[in-house]
Structure 1
Amino acid sequence: MKMAILGAGQIAHKMAATITKMKTVEAYAVAARDEKRAQDFRAQYGFTKAYGSYEEMLSDEEVDLVYIATPHSHHYAHIKMCLEHHKHVLCEKSFTVNARQAREVLQMAEEKGLLLTEAIWTRYMPSRKMVNDIIDSGVIGTVTSLTGNLGYFLGNVTRMVEPSLAGGALLDVGVYMVNFAMMVFGNKISKVSSSAVMSEKGVDYTDSITMVFENGEMAVMHSSMLGALNRRANIFGDKGYIEITNVNNIEKIKVFDENYKEVAAYTPPVQITGYEYEVEACRRAIKAGNTQCSEMPHEETIRVLEIMDDMRRSWGYEIPGENL
């Protein structure tokens, strides 16, 4: 599968470092608005081609899959551009800035018979199944609640602080928390409440998110762009609990009984970067003629965005141009 990267920023470098080590993928092309930047990127990773415009790269008939690595605010337009050039798409999270945009492009992909999926890596990793298998085994009994936090100091990153670039903690790190809760408890949600500390420019710096599910489970989560949170998560049952180190890329899973005694520990398999799982899922889906990946169905992408839309609405945070 010949893969192309649209955008040459920081996250594009991580994807390039991943696919250049994969046997099933060819690091074929990269495009940036600055041709020199694209050429430097191509030389650094050994891509076959570099383009100084996105349209030119998308006109290359050799491209099978495009990874969109631009800021959140640009995803909607860039997804449409890729689909109009009949390209399969893996788009970085947050997929779009709101659910309305997501519905439109997902319908467009379905009509064209093209794969379109969200690159939220935690949905594709083997660690996801490991956690769910532990829960399903019954070792911690009936699961009743979970907690989690994720945050980094990103206050000096332009795309994070500007409303016009869909900045803020929610669409960058909070989205992982919402997905984590849904991977554990499903998508039947009865109530979501949240609060946020907002910047002077109007983006959310720090968020508190509580989700209550129809069967009574509760998820209490914290996300921030103001500091390095410990990235821990815990899942609680009536017979014990699970401790997770690094909820954003699980490094270790420990299981404790009701007497707080550690009874098991697990480590996910060695990986390239963790991005390889979403790429491989796309390759399998394209080969099978599917328009979505089972690991991240379209309905889940929309549901997560609906939840985040409601949260932002309650905070009074409207991203410029999102309702045009």
Structure 2
Amino acid sequence: MSARNGAKEGTVRVGVLGLGRIAAHMGETLRKMSDDPRYHTLVEPYACATHDDADRAADWAETYGFTRSYGSYEELLDDPEVDLVYIATPNVFHKDQAIDAMEHGKNVLVEKPFAINIAQAEEMIETSRDNRVLCAEAMWTRYMPSRTMLTDMLASGRIGRIVQMHADLSYPLTHKKRMTDPTLGGGILLDCGVYALNFGGMIFPNATVTRMLSNVVMSPEGVDQTFQAAAVLDNGVLTSSSASMLCASPRLGIIQGTEGYAIVWNINNPEAIDVYDANHRLIDHLVPPEQLTGYEYEVASAAQAILDGRIECPEMPHTQSLHMLGALDDLRADWSMRYPCE
């Protein structure tokens, strides 16, 4: 990548498409990265766009230190200086907007869930290959140092052979339209549920499900409000996942082995990992390094992938996005749940 209009050599200019709550976290992240010596030559907070509100985009750009703002998505995609587009819109729009961006020659980092279903994801990945641009899923826990800390601890054998594990992530969220509206791809599964399922996916990325059972409570609007799912993997490990938009939860990830167990405090943004022996004695307390916001790791990975000419990130390759969406599709099929866009 060559320098453009005074940009530092090798700097990836980021455009944010969609300016809701999650985009505000990314705006803060990019502002902090631009001031951090570890990242300031790697990424630049460059452009932002709303669907139809130029004034709001301008205010957002000023708040987070972005150079350009646009009142339409198309204007952002037409800007030749944008290298990477972060897609932060509701679930149902991810596929079309990612494909549109890639057909404009832009690399994309797509907020989770990557797509509504596996068929959409396959279309996105095909577009990525055809245009030789990055298409990555922003499943932030996959990129965090805590993931490596956890997998290294498990690989050391400190808790023995893993037998079973459980993860839950629940928040009261019924006041949010994006959660309750089927036309926006609502429901807890595609929001918090993906983190619960992802917990096992990070630990056993190549395992396949041999048997699955699930239960769900549906809303009057026709989306999942609460679910529980249990699966047996082909390596003999029993996994269970749950999430709800009706209540809060401790947000724990629990991994049980033949010699002890581990508790991950807050699977959505791990604060610590406590390791216990079989007699319930605490034998280690692992704390991830201090972070800017937690989003910097996915941005840095995507930027480096672009500079290296790759179309996927090693932390969340296309095979894993497809694997996780396949699990989500299977659960919704079990519940006879389909979105209007399908």
**TM-score, normalised to structure 1's length?**
0.98
**Count of residue pairs the alignment pairs up:** 322
The question of 1:43 aligning with 2:43 is answered no
One of 73, 82, 99 as aligned partner of 1:80: 99
Q: How many Å separate the matches in 2 of 1:314 and 1:136? A: 34
**1:185 positional shift:** 2.2
The question of 1:121 aligning with 2:140 is answered yes
Q: How many Å separate the matches in 2 of 1:191 and 1:128? A: 26
Q: Which amino acid aligns with 1:16?
A: G
The question of 1:172 aligning with 2:191 is answered yes
After TM superposition, which residue ranges in structure 1, 4 or more long, deviate above 4 angstroms?
Answer: none
Matching of residues 1-324 of structure 1 within 5 Å? 1-22=12-33, 23=40, 24-33=42-51, 34-189=53-208, 190-322=210-342
Q: How many Å separate the matches in 2 of 1:186 and 1:112? A: 27
Q: Which amino acid aligns with 1:21?
A: K
- 1:253 and 1:266 in contact (8 A); partners too: yes
DSSP-derived class of the 1:317 partner: coil
Q: How many Å separate the matches in 2 of 1:265 and 1:56? A: 49
DSSP-derived class of the 1:20 partner: helix
DSSP-derived class of the 2:152 partner: helix
Q: How many Å separate the matches in 2 of 1:139 and 1:84? A: 48
Q: Which amino acid aligns with 1:194?
A: S
- 2:199 and 2:253 in contact (8 A); partners too: no
**1:37 positional shift:** 1.4
- 1:192 and 1:307 in contact (8 A); partners too: no
- 1:235 and 1:242 in contact (8 A); partners too: yes
Q: Which amino acid aligns with 1:10?
A: R
DSSP-derived class of the 1:300 partner: helix
Q: Which amino acid aligns with 1:144?
A: V
**1:248 positional shift:** 0.7
DSSP-derived class of the 1:21 partner: helix
Q: Which amino acid aligns with 2:305?
A: A
**1:233 positional shift:** 1.1
Q: Which amino acid aligns with 2:192?
A: V
**1:215 positional shift:** 1.2
DSSP-derived class of the 2:284 partner: strand
**1:188 positional shift:** 2.0
**TM-score, normalised to structure 2's length?**
0.93
Q: Calculate the aligned-residue CA RMSD, in Å.
A: 0.8
Q: How many Å separate the matches in 1 of 2:68 and 2:112? A: 25
**Where do 5+ consecutive residues of structure 2 fail to align?**
1-11, 34-39
**1:239 positional shift:** 0.4
**1:151 positional shift:** 0.8
Q: How many Å separate the matches in 2 of 1:187 and 1:68? A: 27
**1:316 positional shift:** 1.6
**Where do 5+ consecutive residues of structure 1 fail to align?**
none
Percent identical pairs in the alignment equals 44
Q: Which amino acid aligns with 1:7?
A: G
